[in-house]
Amino acid sequence: MHRAFHAIPNLTTPKGKPINAVYGLVSMLISITQNLKPTHLVVCFDEKKPTFRHLEFKQYQSHRPETDKNLISQFEKAREFLKRSRVPVYSKRGFEADDLIGTISKLSVRKPNNFDEVVIVTGDKDILQLVNDKVSLFMPIKGLSNGIIFGSKETKEKLGVTPNQIVDYKGLVGDPSDNYKGVVGIGPKTANTLLDEYGDYKNIYKNI
């Protein structure tokens, strides 16, 4: 919805209420169902802050601007659309939508559910850490509907590390978008080199 809100400007209802984010969400869902042909579909929402991350680290995302009120006003409309479309919606106070996506994707490929494949649709590269032989990621790259499917190979090509190394990679280089620092003097290239040689953060530390 955030992506759609900024990609589709000045779209309103007959009563003059902003509706561009909802329109974009619906357009993306239609495109996804037509192109990916899922047997099941769920949507996850963030709840109001704080999450457990804000409680652990006060500066987490503190530099981000407040969410635009014209976007906030559309969240309930989106939930209503999904309810009428009989698409399950998940959210939980204290957690981000990403946390629920991770939980649902892992549970979906376990017995007794045991889906053959789960495709996560998001523009957030952090979610690439969930990719494995049964979980892939569809990431929009142009507009709202065109995108690329990322498996383990594509993840390695994009970030230089494997999906299960992303947590260690983020710990080394930090993440300006979430406002947490990495290790002083270590950038992406050095982090990739270290993880290629030592595998994970703990093994790097053992070999200082």
pLDDT in tens, the chain (208 residues): 988 898 888 899 999 999 999 999 999 999 999 999 999 999 999 998 789 998 898 888 888 888 899 999 999 999 999 999 999 999 999 999 999 999 999 999 998 878 999 999 998 999 999 999 999 999 987 766 678 999 999 999 999 999 999 999 999 999 988 988 999 999 999 999 999 999 999 999 999 8
Q: What is the pLDDT of residue 60?
A: 85
Sole residue written with tokens 């509907």: 145
pLDDT at 134: 95
The per-residue b/e assignment along 146-157, b for 16 or more CB within 10 angstroms, e otherwise, is ebeebebebbbe
Contact 18, 72 (CB under 8 A): no
Q: Are 82 and 43 in contact (CB under 8 A)?
A: yes
Distance CA 91, CA 113 (A): 21
Residue 116: half-sphere exposure toward Cβ, Cα within 13 Å:
2
What residues form DSSP beta bridges with 140? Answer: 147
Q: Rounded to whole angstroms, how far apart are CA atoms 183 and 187? A: 8
